[in-house]
């Protein structure tokens, strides 16, 4: 299997900026709004998330290509992918609890809920749908993770400032966060057409 | 022990008190992704009603056999099973809609709301209340989808259910990604305003 670095780079840029999961595909919003209130948690989440994304993209590619296609059970892909991700997250959860309890108590709830993050399932499904090879799958996973991290960090830095702003009562909390996200999404449409795949 | 709620209360709780989108603010991803047309919104909403109800029913029925330590993977498998069913049904009978929202149907698996109801409610309650809870939550979601997509399709395309109403495209931004965020934000604020104005609520909505 030859590796085309140019294509991989394009995939990473496309997945993180042009087709940013949060702003153009609207996936992973629950976590996006949940942990973007503080910069610290946003960064922790981004790191965990990108790691989980890359590993699960690779794992599910191997399972899809080496087990599911030979056995002709691709119709079970939803169940199998979510199973892989859930198993991996559960183990990551256990390891993190032992290695870094402080971070675990901050992100514990969301780590458990990473399984219910749409992006984590969307990446293997899109990989399978597009027929990417192993390296492309990993690149796509990495790009998606980075894109999510970028969105999370931008959002967290804005929301930290928003805490101090005088927002009308009904808009406090989530509504204003949504409107902020809408404006960022508008800015992200500027990336469309940056490169064509 | 807390007085058990009647089935009716449980049902209504899902639609109003703890409406997934507007009050709890979970499962937002598809709420914005597929609501650029009323038809798509309804299709996803109906799928969610089915999945949520069946998942609650199943989890509640087998709750005594699930070991707490492995409950997360088990719930995921149950949810994924029902999602596969609806995915295949949609792919066969609603080809045109499926082409647009297929990915999001598959992603129902990862809905926090479905998982959360299985965890919070169905795994601790008997079958009938769990069923009512699932139905209420599902219909609450459907209701939110209809409201959001109604405004977005009407303002963005000047159409409803594919029929031209306004004869033009008043606000193109509404069907763009950004419009989805804005619509949900404004609607949420509106529901908060009602809550504050008429029910004396505090205003801060959602878990986040």
Predicted local distance difference test score (pLDDT) of residue B4 = 59
Region of poorest pLDDT, from A188-192, B55-59, B162-166: B162-166
Q: What total number of domains does chain A contain?
A: 1
Check whether A110 has a pLDDT greater than 70.
Answer: no
Q: Model confidence over B2-13: pLDDT tens digits?
A: 455 677 777 777
Compare B40 and B171 and report the one with higher pLDDT: B40
User: Structure tokens of B110?
Assistant: 């990862």
Domain chopping of chain B, boundaries: 7-142
Predicted local distance difference test score (pLDDT) of residue A170 = 76
A169 contact residues in B (CB cutoff 8 A): 192, 196, 203
Check whether B203 has a pLDDT greater than 70.
Answer: no
Contact B73 A182 (CB under 8 A): no
In a domain, A10, yes or no: no
pLDDT band for position B167 (50/70/90)? low
Predicted local distance difference test score (pLDDT) of residue B205 = 45
Q: Does the beta carbon of A121 lie under 8 angstroms from any beta carbon of chain B?
A: yes
Domain that holds residue A166: 23-188
User: Structure tokens of B23?
Assistant: 């009050």
Check whether A98 has a pLDDT greater than 70.
Answer: yes
In a domain, A195, yes or no: no
Closest chain A CA to residue B193: A170
Check whether A190 has a pLDDT greater than 80.
Answer: no
Closest chain A CA to residue B173: A186
Predicted local distance difference test score (pLDDT) of residue A70 = 84
Q: Does the beta carbon of A74 lie under 8 angstroms from any beta carbon of chain B?
A: no
> What does pLDDT average to over chain A?
80
Q: Model confidence over A127-139: pLDDT tens digits?
A: 888 888 888 888 8
Q: What is the DSSP string of chain A?
A: ----HHHHHHHHHIIIIIT-TTTTS--SHHHHHHHTTSHHHHHHHHHHHHHHHHHHHHHHHHHIIIIIHHHT-GGGHHHHHHHHHHHHHHHHHHHHHHH-HHHHHHHHHHHHHGGG-HHHHHHHHHHHHHT--HHHHHHHHHHHHHHHHHHHHHHHHHHHHHTTS---GGGTTHHHHHHHHHHHHHHHGGGTTSS--
In a domain, A46, yes or no: yes
Q: Model confidence over A145-163: pLDDT tens digits?
A: 888 888 888 888 888 888 8
User: Structure tokens of A190?
Assistant: 């500027």
pLDDT band for position B207 (50/70/90)? very low
Region of poorest pLDDT, from A2-6, B24-28, B200-204: B200-204
Is ipTM > 0.85 here?
no
Closest chain A CA to residue B27: A30
Check whether B196 has a pLDDT greater than 50.
Answer: yes
Predicted local distance difference test score (pLDDT) of residue B27 = 67
In a domain, A5, yes or no: no
In a domain, A12, yes or no: no
Predicted local distance difference test score (pLDDT) of residue B45 = 86
In a domain, A64, yes or no: yes
pTM, two decimals, is 0.76
Which residue, B23, B25, B7, B26, is CA-closest to B15? B23
B203 contact residues in A (CB cutoff 8 A): 169-170, 172-173
* Alpha-carbon gap: A4 to the closest alpha carbon of chain B (Å): 28
- Mutation target to probe the A interface, by most A beta carbons within 10 A, among B33, B181, B183 is B181
Task: Please identify among residues 4-23 of chain A the ones whose CB lies closer than 8 Å to any CB of chain B.
Answer: 23
Check whether B208 has a pLDDT greater than 60.
Answer: no
Predicted local distance difference test score (pLDDT) of residue A181 = 85
Contact B208 A34 (CB under 8 A): yes
Predicted local distance difference test score (pLDDT) of residue B176 = 75
B179 contact residues in A (CB cutoff 8 A): 182
Contact A26 B30 (CB under 8 A): yes
Contact A30 B26 (CB under 8 A): yes
Q: Model confidence over B75-89: pLDDT tens digits?
A: 888 888 888 888 888
pLDDT band for position B206 (50/70/90)? very low
Task: Please identify among residues 127-166 of chain A the ones whose CB lies closer than 8 Å to any CB of chain B.
Answer: none
Predicted local distance difference test score (pLDDT) of residue B74 = 83
Predicted local distance difference test score (pLDDT) of residue A109 = 62
Q: Helix-strand-coil percent breakdown of chain B, rounded to 5?
A: 75, 0, 20
Q: Model confidence over A41-55: pLDDT tens digits?
A: 788 778 878 888 888
Compare A85 and A143 and report the one with higher pLDDT: A143
Mean pLDDT, residues B62-86 taken together: 83
B180 contact residues in A (CB cutoff 8 A): 26, 182, 185
Contact B33 A173 (CB under 8 A): no
Mean pLDDT, residues A190-195 taken together: 71
């Amino acid at each position: 299997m030859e590796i085309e670095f140019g294509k991989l780079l394009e995939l990473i840029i496309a997945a993180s900026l042009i087709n940013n999961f949060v702003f153009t595909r609207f996936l992973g919003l629950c976590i996006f709004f949940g942990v973007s209130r503080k910069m610290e948690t946003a960064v922790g989440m981004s790191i965990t998330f990108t790691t989980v994304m890359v590993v699960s993209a690779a794992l599910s590619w191997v399972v899809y290509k080496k087990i599911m296609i030979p056995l002709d059970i691709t119709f079970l892909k939803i169940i199998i992918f979510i199973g892989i991700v859930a198993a991996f997250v559960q183990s990551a959860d256990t390891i993190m609890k032992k290695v870094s309890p402080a971070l675990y108590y901050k992100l514990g709830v969301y780590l458990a809920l990473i399984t219910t993050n749409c992006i984590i399932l969307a990446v293997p499904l899109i990989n399978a749908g597009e027929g990417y090879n192993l390296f492309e799958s990993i690149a796509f996973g990495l790009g998606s993770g980075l894109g999510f991290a970028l969105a999370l960090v931008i959002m967290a830095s804005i929301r930290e400032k928003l805490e101090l702003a005088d927002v009308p009562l009904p808009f406090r909390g989530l509504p204003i966060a949504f409107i902020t996200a809408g404006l960022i999404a508008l800015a992200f449409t500027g990336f469309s057409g940056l490169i064509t795949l | 022990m807390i007085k058990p709620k009647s089935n009716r209360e449980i049902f209504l709780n899902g639609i109003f008190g703890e409406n997934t989108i507007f009050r709890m603010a979970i499962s937002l991803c598809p709420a914005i992704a597929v609501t650029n047309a009323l038809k798509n919104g309804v299709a996803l909403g109906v799928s969610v009603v089915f999945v949520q109800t069946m998942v609650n029913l199943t989890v509640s029925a087998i709750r005594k056999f699930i070991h707490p330590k492995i409950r997360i993977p088990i719930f995921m498998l149950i949810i994924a099973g029902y999602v596969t069913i609806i995915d295949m049904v949609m792919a066969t009978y609603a080809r045109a809609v499926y082409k647009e929202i297929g990915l999001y149907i598959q992603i129902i698996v990862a809905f926090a709301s479905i998982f959360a109801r299985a965890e919070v409610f169905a795994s601790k309650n008997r079958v009938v209340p769990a069923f009512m809870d699932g139905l209420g939550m599902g219909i609450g979601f459907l209701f939110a989808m209809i409201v959001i997509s109604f405004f977005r399709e009407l303002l963005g395309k000047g159409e409803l259910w594919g029929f031209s109403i306004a004869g033009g495209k008043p606000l193109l931004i509404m069907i763009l990604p950004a419009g989805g965020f804005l619509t949900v934000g404004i609607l949420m604020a509106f529901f908060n305003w009602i809550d504050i104005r008429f029910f004396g609520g505090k205003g801060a909505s959602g878990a986040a």
